[in-house]
Structures are given as structure tokens and as C-alpha cells.
Amino acid sequence: MVYGWNDMVDREIDADNPRKDSYWFGAKGSKEQLQNLWKPILIVQLLFFPFIYYFIGPIAIPIFLAFFAINSLYNLPKHGLRSKPPLELICQVGYLLIAPLSIYLNEAVHLPWQTYAYLFLFALQSQLIGEVMDIEPDRKSGRQTTATVLGMKWCKLLIIFIVAVEVGLLLYVYNEFIFGGMLAIGLLWLIIDIVFIFKTEVYSMQQMKLFALLSNLVALVSMSYVWWSACLLSVG
């Protein structure tokens, strides 16, 4: 629902985006494909919602309604918040709904509010990195994002600030030095990138694919560590 809905409303913008239609960065559907995409999206929701309701009860209703509401606000064809910076960043709170859904499904313990703060910062960081990679196609299409408004330099500095706050949370709130150290290495790379290497240059497609490969490898390692250590389950 999240990505299919966005593909439908951004069809014209994505059509001129060289980053799209690839294994790494998402599909580029035809007009005919995207016009009918709402049908399998709806079918999937209707098939699985009864099972989720059975396992977690009435709490499934507000969670799914929140998913739908946030996606609606973000993807409205003419007035969607995806093109109204910085409101598109606030919509990233929708990803946090995965946490309570998973907690209720797995009968797990609830997370401290600091973990939700960390997850929200991570969602902001990911959104802004995507906007940096799409800054030129978005400008050409006339779409406004936080990146197109701030420009490459200030958007990268904002990403660095967000990641620095994440590192601070991990080191000083969770006393988590292994995971925090991993993220600190990423922070160091971001600083080197803007100061010495790419600065405000647009990344080539090959560079973006390399970054995607490396970031996914790092994600697999960090996810495995967080799962094994449960380091975000409680503050230090």
C-alpha cells in the first residue's frame, strides 16, 4: 500500500527519474499497470486484515486506519504532503506504526519512547537521503521537497545533524557502543562526503547503486545485531 500508492500518484515524475525502474530503487510502472494497481493493493489488505484482527483484536482497527490516513495525506494527487516540505518529513511517522503492529502480533514487550524517537529520526534520515538522490529529477518536474528547497548542501548538513543525534542517543541514552559505533562510522562518511569528496555534486547512477549495495549490507549486519542484542529494548 505504501509504495504502490506512491508509485500511482508519482507516475509522471518517476517516468523521468533515471533512478527508478531498477532493482535497487523501485519500479517504474506503465500508465495501464498503475491505473489498476489499486485492485491488488485492496485485495491484499482485505485478505490479511481478518487474520491480523484475529490475532491482535480491535487494536488492529486504529493501526490500519492510521496507516491509511497517513498514506492518504501523503499521496493526495493535487494536495499531497509529499510535495509540501517539510510536511513530507512528518509523514514518515507512519513507518513507526510497524513497531506496535509487530509488538501486538508477537506478544512482545513495549518499547520505550526513546526507541520511537530513534526510529523516527532514522525514517527522516532515509527520506532525506532519497530526496538528495532525486534532487535533479524533482527540480526538473517542479516537485518541491525539503531537498529542493534547502539545496544539496544544507540538506546534507541536516542529514548529518540527524545522524549525529541518533549516535548521541545510542551512546548516551542506550549505552550502546557497538551499534552506536557502526552509526558513527556512517556519520564520519557523511562528513567526508560533503567536505572532501562529492560536496554538492550529483551522484552518478553507478555511484548510487554502489551506495545502495553497501548500505543494504550494513543494514543487514546492524539489523542482525539489534535483533540479537535487543539493544533498543530498554534505555541504559
Domain ranges of the chain: 2-229
pLDDT digits over 50-86, tens only? 999 999 999 999 999 999 999 999 999 889 999 999 9
Query: What is d(CA 85, CA 151) in angstroms, rounded to the nearest whole number?
Result: 12
What pLDDT score does 29 carry?
A: 87
Helices assigned H by DSSP within the chain: 2-9, 11-15, 31-35, 38-56, 60-75, 87-90, 98-106, 113-133, 135-141, 146-150, 152-168, 177-192, 205-229
Residue 119 has pLDDT above 80, yes or no: yes
How far is CA 162 from its chain centroid? 14
Determine contact, residues 235/174, Cβ cutoff 8 Å. Answer: yes
What pLDDT score does 21 carry?
A: 82
Rounded to the nearest integer, the mean pLDDT of the chain is 94
Percent of the chain residues topping a pLDDT of 70: 100
What pLDDT score does 64 carry?
A: 96
Q: How many CB atoms lie within 10 A of CB 196?
A: 8
User: What are the angstrom distances between the C-alpha of 165 and each of 98, 140, 168, 171?
Assistant: 22, 32, 5, 10
Identify the CA nearest to 94 among candidates 75, 110, 112, 107: 75
Query: What is d(CA 25, CA 16) in angstroms, rounded to the nearest whole number?
Result: 14
DSSP label at residue 201: P
Question: Where does the pLDDT of residue 236 fall: very low under 50, low under 70, confident under 90, or very high at 90 and above?
Answer: confident
**CA angle at 166 for the pair 164 and 168, rounded to the nearest 5°:** 70
What pLDDT score does 86 carry?
A: 96
Question: Across residues 200-215, what is the average pLDDT?
Answer: 93
pLDDT digits over 143-172, tens only? 999 999 999 999 999 999 999 999 999 999
Question: Where does the pLDDT of residue 24 fall: very low under 50, low under 70, confident under 90, or very high at 90 and above?
Answer: confident
Residue 3 has pLDDT above 80, yes or no: yes
